[in-house]
Structure 1
Amino acid sequence: MLTLYRPGEGRLHRMPAGRKTLLVLALVLGVSLLPSSWWAAVVAASATLLAYVLAELQDGMLGMRELARQVAALRWILVITIVSQLVFLGPEAAVANTARVAAAIVLSALLVLTTRVTALLDALERGLRPLARLRLDPQLAALLLTVTLTTIPTLARLAREVRDAQRARGARGSLRTFAVPFLILASQHAFELGDALTARGIR
């Protein structure tokens, strides 16, 4: 399984996977429940900045370099979000909702960046064991959640690679020229992931 884990010795790296998962989920939920107002956009941005600083990612800029990478990889998603929101909801709701979406995604990326897939899978499996009473497989549920968490930053990385390749060729940036190669790479990743899961007997 593709992992975006980056080795480190920071505070978030040292935190147990289970506790870290609960913390990140609480942050994402808190940001998602903010109202569609100007102050909510400020809170979402501030919470994200603070989280990356406290994570101690050791990127030489108090986590800001990694945060900039994550946001830059999402730029087309954010453009589509804010444009569609501006059309239907107006500027305040558009800015607030886009800020909340961006904050939720980049905050969830912290979990993947600072936790090995095996540790994350084990923590989720332990947390989902009560589902066995409902005749649900906690191992399969944990695997599906882990795949979901790792897919979001993976798609962001693919988007960044597409843009870097276009810039290297001197191509002008546009949504149309970006969408086609991005969808091809995303589909290829989905097929490869499906083949890997099938090879492990998961259908």
Structure 2
Amino acid sequence: MITLYRPGSGWLHRAPAGPKALGILVVVLAISLLPTSWWTAGIATTVTVLAYLALGLGLGELGRQLLLIRWIITITVAGQLLFLDVESAVSNTSRIVAAILLAALLVLSTRVADLLDAFERVLRPLGRFGVDPSRIALMLAVAINTVPVLARLATSVREAQRARGAGSNLVTFVVPFLVVSLKHADELGEALTARGVR
């Protein structure tokens, strides 16, 4: 599994995985439930910037994360503008981007093993009903890591296209991106199968 964990000594890195995940989930839900308006976009942006600054990751890391998801932002804005007015498109996109960037805080500051342990502890009571906590914990950990991994794959595809002299064209980007995404999914599935996860 590709890990995006960045070692650090700040309080975010030292915080237990469970409470940290819960805190980030609460903030993301609060932003998601805001009404659609210009000020919602401002709040989402401000909360995200302040989170990166307050947690010691800085604007440099925020910029790197934004760069990784630039294609997701582009596709989201374009899709929204097809069906909604500009205010709604900007507001919705800013909330989606804020959610992704805030979720990245969890992945950047928590080892995958710690996330798995936290999810397993929370899900353990469901074992009485035939639910396998370790399997669900693994699925959740993979899901949390998926967005940043796809963002990195998108960056790699774009860089490869630039090296070949290809222009910025969304259509010529989508097909190779889907191919490498599906290849990554196959490799991840094979790795999980090799470890006995079915």
1:41 aligns with 2:36: no
1:98 aligns with 2:93: yes
Out of 139, 149, 153, the residue aligned to residue 148 of structure 2 is: 153
2:24 and 2:165 mapped to 1: Cα distance?
39
1:193 and 1:101 mapped to 2: Cα distance?
26
How many angstroms does 1:109 deviate by? 0.9
Unmatched 5+ residue regions in structure 2? Answer: none
Write the letter of the residue equivalent to 1:156.
Answer: A
Instruction: Name the SS of the counterpart of 2:3 in structure 1.
Output: coil
Contact persistence 2:69–2:148 (CA under 8 A):
no
Out of 160, 165, 171, the residue aligned to residue 170 of structure 1 is: 165
2:146 and 2:109 mapped to 1: Cα distance?
15
Aligned to 2:12: 12
1:90 and 1:52 mapped to 2: Cα distance?
30
Aligned to 2:68: 73
How many angstroms does 1:24 deviate by? 1.3
1:6 and 1:182 mapped to 2: Cα distance?
25
How many angstroms does 1:87 deviate by? 2.5
How many angstroms does 1:90 deviate by? 0.3
Unmatched 5+ residue regions in structure 1? Answer: 58-62
Contact persistence 1:41–1:100 (CA under 8 A):
yes
2:103 and 2:127 mapped to 1: Cα distance?
26
Alpha-carbon RMSD: 1.3
Q: Which moved more, 1:125-134 or 1:111-120?
A: 125-134
2:170 and 2:193 mapped to 1: Cα distance?
34
How many angstroms does 1:56 deviate by? 1.3
Aligned to 1:191: 186
Aligned to 2:77: 82
How many angstroms does 1:169 deviate by? 3.3
> For residues 83-113 of structure 1, what are the alpha-carbon distances to aligned partners after superposition, in whole Å with 9 as ceiling and x for unaligned?
2222222011100000011111111111111
> For residues 117-170 of structure 1, what are the alpha-carbon distances to aligned partners after superposition, in whole Å with 9 as ceiling and x for unaligned?
101110111111121132211111111100100111110111112222223333
Aligned to 1:54: 54
**Percent of aligned positions that are identical:** 59
Contact persistence 2:72–2:151 (CA under 8 A):
no
Aligned to 1:60: none
Contact persistence 1:82–1:95 (CA under 8 A):
yes
Moved over 6 A (4+): none
Write the letter of the residue equivalent to 2:73.
Answer: L
How many angstroms does 1:196 deviate by? 0.9
1:72 and 1:34 mapped to 2: Cα distance?
25
